[in-house]
Amino acid sequence: MKILFIGDIFAATGRKLVAEHLAFIVENENIDLTIANAENAAGGFGLTPPLAEGLFELGVHVLTSGNHIWDKREIYDHLARCPRLLRPANYPADLPGSGVAIVEARNGVRCAVMNLQGRVYMPATDCPFRKADALLESLPPDVKVRFVDFHAEVTSEKIAMGWHLDGRVSAMVGTHTHVPTADTRILPRGTAYQTDCGMTGPYDSVIGVEKADVVRKFQTSLPVRFEAAHGMAELHAVVVEVEPASGRALAIKRVCVRQNGEA
């Protein structure tokens, strides 16, 4: 079976790319399960219930997130009502939502999708490594296909998590830094890995934000209002092929769709 994971969907530009290209990718790659990180879908900062439901209607099965999931307060109640919308599992347990979902793919295979957040240069959370162990122990033993979105800042923490999970999950793909990495591979024990999937949004920018805003912030160290950029856009994703019986990854490849024009 094949899993499609779409990197951080950023603002209207990213949503437009998904709307225009998702159906083709799913058909062309024979995708069974589609997952996307949507924590930046609302103007680059957060997610709203209508935007989440719109992405589900386009064919995304599970939405993951990260630290920006808390930016829009209207999503809080929606997290509690929508089990296919995840927030990082290593936030306090009494917060709304969950960090794991078990869903049935198009081919009938039950799959676990897990969402974790790193701690280096990120908001304070529980240990993602220990939380990953607890999530895996809680899964039904017959759910062999397991995908992890690790939303973290530094490459070393993501790489360490990949080694920690190798052989216990089908794939671990990093998000948050919005820059795709070139280390796509299968780890020795059968886990597909990439340090960062990259962003789905405006690349004529600084990680999605208007260039001048970020340059001014660095030059002055003063508060600057960030605005989502427009223009040249790219969709970044990975396709992971998994053996359902064992959950071992057979292959992983990067997908990039480039498109010019404003959102």
Confidence of residue 261 (pLDDT cuts 50, 70, 90): very low
> pLDDT tens digits, residue range 233-251?
999 999 999 999 999 999 9
Q: What are phi and psi of 132, to 5 degrees?
A: -60, -45
pLDDT at 260 (0 to 100): 61
> pLDDT tens digits, residue range 147-191?
999 999 999 999 999 999 999 999 999 999 999 999 999 999 999
> pLDDT tens digits, residue range 76-107?
999 999 999 999 999 999 999 999 999 999 99
pTM above 0.75, yes or no: yes
Confidence of residue 262 (pLDDT cuts 50, 70, 90): very low
Instruction: For residue 91, give the nearest of 65, 112, 61, 113 by alpha carbon.
Output: 65
Give the C-alpha distances (Å, rounded to integers) separating 52 from 47, 134, 184, 228, 234.
7, 27, 28, 18, 20
Give the catalytic positions in this structure.
68
Question: For the residues of 83-151, what is the DSSP string, one character each?
Answer: TTBB--TTS-TTSSSBSEEEEE-TTS-EEEEEEEE--TTS---S-HHHHHHHHHHHS-TT--EEEEEEE
DSSP state of 218: H
Rounded Cα distance between 100 and 30, Å, is 24
pLDDT at 263 (0 to 100): 32
Average pLDDT over residues 102-127: 98
Mean confidence (pLDDT) of the chain: 96
Return the domain boundaries, the chain.
2-259
CATH class held by domain 2-259: alpha beta
Average pLDDT over residues 121-127: 97
Enter the tokens of residue 172.
Answer: 């671990």
> pLDDT tens digits, residue range 206-221?
999 999 999 999 999 9
Enter the tokens of residue 137.
Answer: 């122990």
Rounded Cα distance between 136 and 8, Å, is 24
> pLDDT tens digits, residue range 36-48?
999 999 999 999 9
Residues above pLDDT 90, as percent of the chain: 95
pLDDT at 259 (0 to 100): 84
